Amino acid sequence: MRLVDAAVEVFGTSGYRSATVGKICETAGLTKRYFYESFDDSEALLLAAYASVTDRLRGSVLRGAGEGGTDLDARVRGALTAFFRSVADDPRIPRIAFQEVLGVGPEVDNAYRRVTVSFVDAVLVVIDPAVDRTAFPDFHLRTLATGLVGAVLMIAQQWVLSENPQPIESVIGSAHTILSAVLGQLGPQTT
């Protein structure tokens, strides 16, 4: 949808709070009428833009993990590499996903929590081929996955906000060290 693509451009470069419906419509090459036919307000469009960029991030994680086959280390490294490359390749993505959605309102906060859960689910998909699900209760794996998502998101957030960012390989390596340390505690079936 052209309005969502335009919102990703405007929110991802100028920011949500400084964006106007007119600017988004101009970027999309549409009149304001199209905006109001599609969205109730700019917050609804922010939610659509947020869904678009986080869907891309989650898709890249799953594709990257898939390239690792059934080897857990290769799946984790592939997922992290794809995630951080997506963040690095399009600065609009982390701006919207990590900054612009914060503190907007209850509906956006709820969307943020739902997206976090969807990334936890993605981590469970990434590790599933290597983990004996009968040996570890789902709630335990979900709690670990939640912590891993939080760690990776915080690393990514601080990386993109840094005035002197580390090279991407170093960031991926650091995130991999954390994930490997935690996943290594799941027992010999994960090594």
Check whether 50 has a pLDDT greater than 90: yes
DSSP state of 165: P
- Give the residue extent of every domain in the chain: 42-190
Whole-angstrom distance, CA of residue 50 vs CA of residue 68: 28
- H helices, E strands: number in the chain: 9, 0
pLDDT tens-digit map of 66-85: 998 888 899 999 999 999 99
Check whether 189 has a pLDDT greater than 80: no
pLDDT tens-digit map of 135-180: 788 888 999 999 999 999 999 999 999 999 999 999 999 999 999 9
pLDDT interval class at 191 (50, 70, 90)? very low
Domain 42-190 sits in CATH 3.40.50.720: no
